[in-house]
Structure 1
Amino acid sequence: MHKGACLCGAVRVEVEGELAPPDACHCSQCRRQSGHFWASTDLPRERVRIDGAENLSWFQASEKVRRGFCSTCGSFLFWDPVGRDKIAVAMGAFDTPTGTRLAKHIFTADKGDYYDIADGLPQNAR
């Protein structure tokens, strides 16, 4: 069982089983919402339990995805693709240890010009 929460604790998440290896998204939307790049793990919805869902606000970022954040403290917690059976949960929300390591970088063509990606992990331009 993995547990985590937003900064203020109003939204809590529990995940049954292991976390999938996370990816780091460098797209302009993730950078703007998180303040840098965003690392998350994609999980089957049935394994994710959210307590305090009444404290979540959802931003419809596109026709294909909405982004969930705590309406109290603003923590960006979820990337929710419409009509899919998985949801991405922010790695930064989890209590440690998580038992996983970053697997890859995505949307690197959109990364900020103020940093380099030099960890040797695979990089996908899109």
Structure 2
Amino acid sequence: MTVKLTLTCDEGLRWYRSSPQAERGFCQHCGASLFWRMDGEGRTSIGSGTLNLPTGMATAKHIFVADKSDYYQIEPGPEQLP
């Protein structure tokens, strides 16, 4: 899903370079992770946990499942990528 993002206030929003190719946006007051963006992609991903309910969203795929811990259960249905 692609949606145009418009911030009405960015006070407290800080960006952190989390890897050589990406950075994360977070709240400087509470530390909540809000956004993620990959260099050169021209888009910003929004943490789904930041959205008001109902979101109308569903899981499309699970990534890095080969590295999941033994306590984590993945529901059947969505694609699973190693």
Place the TM-score, normalised by the shorter chain, in its bin: 0.7 to 0.9
Give ranges in structure 2 of 5+ residues lacking alignment.
none
Q: How does 1:26-37 map to 2 (within 5 A)?
A: none
Determine the structure 2 residue equivalent to 1:106. 63
1:49 matched to which residue of 2? 6
Q: Deviations over 1:55-112 (max 9, x none)?
A: 1121211111101110011111101111212211011111112222111111212222
Equivalent residues, number:
82
Partner of 1:84: 41
Percentage of pairs with the same residue = 39
Question: Quick one: distance in 2 between partners of 1:119 and 1:63?
Answer: 34
Kindly tell me: are residues 100 and 118 of structure 1, through their superposed partners in 2, closer, same or farther at Cα, counting changes over 3 Å?
A: closer
| 1:118 pairs with one of 70, 75, 79 | 75
Name the CA distance, whole Å, in 2 between partners of 1:54 and 1:87.
18
Indicate the structure with greater helix content: 1
SS of the residue corresponding to residue 48 of structure 1 reads: coil
- In the TM superposition, what whole-angstrom CA distance separates every residue of 1:15-53 from its partner, at most 9, and x where no partner exists? xxxxx2xxxxxxxxxxxxxxxxxxxxxx46xx1012332
Structure showing the higher strand proportion among its residues: 1
User: Which residue number corresponds to residue 29 of structure 1?
Assistant: none
RMSD in angstroms over aligned alpha carbons? 1.6
Q: Which amino acid aligns with 2:24?
A: R
Moved over 2 A (4+): none
Alpha-carbon shift at residue 119 of structure 1 (Å): 2.9
Q: 2:15 pairs with 49, 58, 63, which one?
A: 58
Please, what TM-score do these two structures have when normalized by structure 1?
0.58
